[in-house]
Chains A and B, each alone.
Chain A
Amino acid sequence: MGYAATIASKRYVFSDLRTLLARASPLRSGDQLAGLAAASAVERMAARLALADLPLRHFLDEAVIPYEADEVTRLIVDTHDGAAFASVAHLTVGEFREWLLDDATDTAALAHVAPGLTPEMVAAVSKLMRQQDLISVARKCRVITGFRDTIGLPGRLAVRLQPNHPTDDPRGIAASLLDGLLYGCGDAVIGVNPAGDSVPAIMDLLRRLDEVRERFEIPTQTCVLTHVTTTLQAIERGAPVDLVFQSIAGTEAANRGFGIHLALLAEAQAAALELNRGTVGRNVMYFETGQGSALSSQAHQGVDQQTCEARAYAVARHFQPLIANTVVGFIGPEYLFDGKQIIRAGLEDHFCGKLLGVPLGCDVCYTNHAEADQDDMDALLTLLGTAGVTFIMGVPGADDVMLNYQSTSFHDALYLRGLLGLRPAPEFEAWLAQVGITATSGALQGLPPQIAAALEDLTGGRP
């Protein structure tokens, strides 16, 4: 079936749902690269007019990628909760936007409807929303998870401590790790992107991170962000794995490009749960996503990159992650060209993830070949803070010396927490005060003796 809208007596026709969604999407370079973007600003608005009138129910009848051809579609369809959907089943996409923004639609109502929403519904409504809408609604969503601390509580902002080193040098990693802890970061996870991927090297990193966590009795979790199959091998060989990491995407083909499928994720989740290492919760998965990842492996199947991204969140929520984040500006200008596109995408991703029930954080970031700079990151960081983002990254000086991109810094976390009165995860906050990194006011107070001792061990006591 087709969709149509008329503007100034010109009729615009869209042949199917995926085309309608693509043409309605805000302009971005990745959709242009894929040949999916609207050809003109007016065509884009015509698509939005047609989309606004589409009943939400219709999304249950027309898949953007066929059920038979894609296990992500099958997951979305087979796990759809009809009873949860009932409260919005009578709405069009345009009316759904108004329902979401309605003061009467509170946190509980949004949590109730989440299992009844498909990623395509959520992507569709986001295309009709301004940035302030994306912020207002996301702020009402509440997704709370736990492992050794509790992530996602109101008034809290967690930080992933990302102490990467170009050659995985253990002392180099430890240096960035201590720097981050001393800035109050690390409650979301202490997570290293390794330069290598051999199982023994990964196991060594896992053990070292676990030793630091145990030495200081930090109520947080550690992770080495390697392929799920490598982590599974590390678990089999007895490594201390808290969280299983994996990059995921919104189509079966793109996931195949990552070397994964849903059964593999389920196997990894079961293996990590078996270890039973969590204390306050049992959320053992950590996912990363990002608009453009499906297109970059030619696996987007004619679906726009923002809708593909929302489908990745359907994959994520099925495995009850502790945390998930979009790496919004990492992939490069051929997908998100400049600061404007990166900022919009970051807010869309956060909104879509939260509405679907995923504990979404954001790697607010850019590469040096994108038309973006620190000012753009400050804007997105601040907007996401107001939207209630679950966590951000903490990279020394915002400069990741292993992955060669700019993310957010320990200082950025300090800024956002200070500006908006946000606090770390409660268990971690208590630890910071107990060790003496923070005063009772929550303010940083320098170098406590316990950490100073570790510093001496690390550097051989030499100044």
Chain B
Amino acid sequence: MSRGLRPDPWTVLRRLTPARVALGRAGHSLPTQEILQFGVAHAQARDAVHAPLHVATLAANLAPLGQPVLTVVSSAPDRPTYLMRPDLGRRLDPASAQHLDQQRPGPHDLLFVIGDGLSALAVARHAVPLLTHFHLARPPEWRIGPLVIASQCRVALGDEIGERLGAPMVAVLIGERPGLSSPDSLGIYLTRHPRVGRLDAERNCLSNIRPEGLPYVEAARRLAWLCQAAIQLDATGIALKDGSIDPAHLAPPNAAAGA
């Protein structure tokens, strides 16, 4: 330990929270190790934001689920545009729109869109295991539509995809805004009767899906519950909010805004 480092004699608190407590200090500032650890975490989060979604790999990993896989892109042509223009990430590019219009998916109860959002890493890591668990948690009679992989995707892109494929309900699996401690957090947004122009208040959300956060089994169980409730109510959004969901795993409203 160098002469300048003053550890905090309450490091015991670190057992109680993932927050960066009891870091110690050097003068008014952080110990060098803490500055570096923070820098590493920020670098990981930055890389997660800018990492591309490897569509072919994801499609191959989704294949064992036995559903047809479609791929689309939004109107945002690249990552910088995607970050600056959320409106473009909410609409399909014309070729993708045409591609979907040519599909004739059979009648189905639920459509999955798997979009990169702000963390392709989250989708690459968690989409397949989450869907696998959902397959076990859902009532077997539900018909699942094709799995749609969407690049440069915002949550609302699911509305146009669902509308063009005639889906009665869409669940968008999407990479959430990376935090320093969670570069790979997956979110799910469920929308009944998707169509362009749906409001965020008309969706339900499960957030922070990753092994260190909301585990796959639990996320799949809650998604199945939400789907069932949405079918009964014939609606998603504010109307569906109810005490049977642990509020701890509903996203804070602001965190969803960037998705």
| A interface residues (Cβ-Cβ under 8 A, vs B) | 29, 32-33, 163-169, 171-176, 178-179, 182, 193, 195-198, 201, 296, 330-334, 337, 367-369, 373-374, 395-406, 409, 411, 414-415, 418-419, 446-447, 455, 458-459, 462-463
Contact = CB atoms under 8 A, between A and B. Distances in A.
Contacts of B18: 166, 172, 401
B252 A171 contact: no
B17 A405 contact: no
A462 B34 CA distance: 25
Contacts of A331: 254, 257-258
Contacts of A409: 20, 30
A165 B179 contact: no
B152 interface: no
B237 interface: no
Contact of A198 (B46, B180, B247): B247
A33 B87 contact: yes
B2 to A, nearest CB: 17
A332 B257 contact: yes
A257 to B, nearest CB: 9
A404 B17 contact: no
Given A29-B84, A33-B85, A172-B16, A402 B248 contact: no
B22 interface: yes
Interface string B20-31: 111101001110
A446 B247 CA distance: 37
Interface stretch (B4-12, B63-71, B98-106): B4-12
B50 to A, nearest CB: 9
Nearest to B179: A404
Contacts of A399: 19-20, 38, 41, 179-181
Nearest to A179: B21
Contacts of A458: 13, 16
A423 to B, nearest CB: 14
B1 interface: no
**The 7 residue pairs across chains A and B that have the minimum distance between CB atoms:** A397-B20, A196-B247, A404-B179, A172-B17, A368-B45, A175-B16, A175-B13
B176 interface: yes
Interface residues of B, number: 54
A459 B15 contact: yes
B248 A455 contact: no
Identify which of A174, A201, A332, A337 gathers the most chain B CB atoms within 10 Å of its CB: A332
Contacts of B41: 399
B9 to A, nearest CB: 5
Contacts of B118: 369
Contact of B247 (A164, A197, A447): A197
B20 A396 contact: yes
B180 A334 contact: no
B84 A333 contact: yes
Contacts of A168: 248
Interface in B60-88: 83-87
Given A166-B213, A411-B30, A196 B250 contact: yes
A401 B28 contact: no
Interface of B: 8-10, 12-23, 25, 28-30, 34, 38, 41-42, 45-46, 48-49, 83-87, 118, 176-182, 185, 208, 213, 243, 246-250, 252, 254-255, 257-258
Contacts of A463: 12
A176 B258 contact: no
B21 A396 contact: yes
Contacts of A411: 23, 25, 28-30
18 contacts: A166-B248, A172-B19, A175-B16, A176-B17, A182-B10, A195-B248, A334-B86, A367-B258, A369-B258, A396-B19, A397-B19, A397-B34, A399-B181, A401-B19, A404-B178, A404-B180, A411-B23, A415-B28
Given A163-B19, A166-B208, A459-B13, 17 more contacts: A33-B84, A168-B248, A169-B16, A179-B21, A195-B247, A198-B247, A334-B84, A368-B45, A369-B178, A369-B258, A397-B20, A397-B34, A399-B38, A403-B179, A403-B254, A411-B30, A458-B13
A368 B179 contact: yes
B30 A179 contact: no
B103 to A, nearest CB: 31
Given A195-B248, A196-B250, A399-B180, A182 B17 contact: no
B200 to A, nearest CB: 9
A195 B252 contact: yes
Contact of B248 (A196, A396, A398): A196
A179 B208 contact: no
Contacts of A406: 42, 180
Given A166-B213, A401-B181, A415-B29, A171 B16 contact: yes
Contact of B38 (A333, A374, A447): A374
Contact of A418 (B19, B28, B213): B28
Name the residue among B41, B46, B185, B254 with the largest chain A CB count within 10 angstroms.
B254
B10 A178 contact: yes
Contacts of B19: 163-165, 172, 175-176, 179, 395-397, 399, 401
A390 B243 CA distance: 39
A399 B17 CA distance: 12
Nearest to B24: A411
Nearest to A195: B248
Contacts of A462: 12
Nearest to B12: A459
Given A175-B19, A368-B49, A411-B23, A332 B258 contact: yes
Given A166-B213, A296-B257, A447-B9, A401 B38 contact: no
